């Protein structure tokens, strides 16, 4: 995979690092609050989405951009289809 690093890649990579660090800190203190499992899940989801978005932002071959974009949005398409269907 060929990459060309840019500002979006840097910003999204920082987002991945921050959300992973926050999720790890919340995981260590998970017994304090009952909502910590949901918060950890949300932080890991943000990290996963930002990882795929950073890879897509840095990819310079269209085929690789398209395959990563379809990984991100495959759930959104099916949910939208189910909501509009009667």
List, for residues 42-75, the tens digit of each pLDDT value: 999 999 989 888 888 887 765 555 555 555 555 5
In a domain, 38, yes or no: yes
The Cβ of residue 54 has, within 10 Å, a number of other Cβ atoms equal to 23
In a domain, 2, yes or no: no
With tokens 């990459």, the residue in question is 3
CA distance linking residue 86 with residue 72, whole number of Å: 26
In a domain, 63, yes or no: yes
In a domain, 54, yes or no: yes
In a domain, 60, yes or no: yes
In a domain, 1, yes or no: no
Give the residue with greater pLDDT, 2 vs 21.
Answer: 21
Domain span holding position 66: 7-84
Q: How many domains does the chain have?
A: 1
Token pair listed for 50:
């930002």
Asked if pLDDT for residue 86 goes beyond 50, the answer is: no
Residues forming beta bridges with residue 3, ordered by sequence position: 59
* C-beta of residue 23 within 8 angstroms of C-beta of residue 44: yes
The Cβ of residue 68 has, within 10 Å, a number of other Cβ atoms equal to 19
């Amino acid at each position: 995979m060929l990459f060309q690093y840019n500002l979006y890649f840097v910003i999204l990579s920082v987002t991945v690092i921050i959300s992973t660090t926050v999720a790890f800190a919340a995981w260590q203190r998970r017994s304090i609050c009952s909502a910590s499992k949901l918060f950890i899940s949300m932080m890991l989801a943000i990290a996963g989405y930002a990882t795929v978005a950073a890879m897509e932002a840095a990819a310079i071959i269209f085929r690789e951009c398209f395959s990563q974009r379809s990984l991100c949005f495959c759930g959104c398409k099916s949910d939208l289809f189910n909501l509009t269907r009667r």
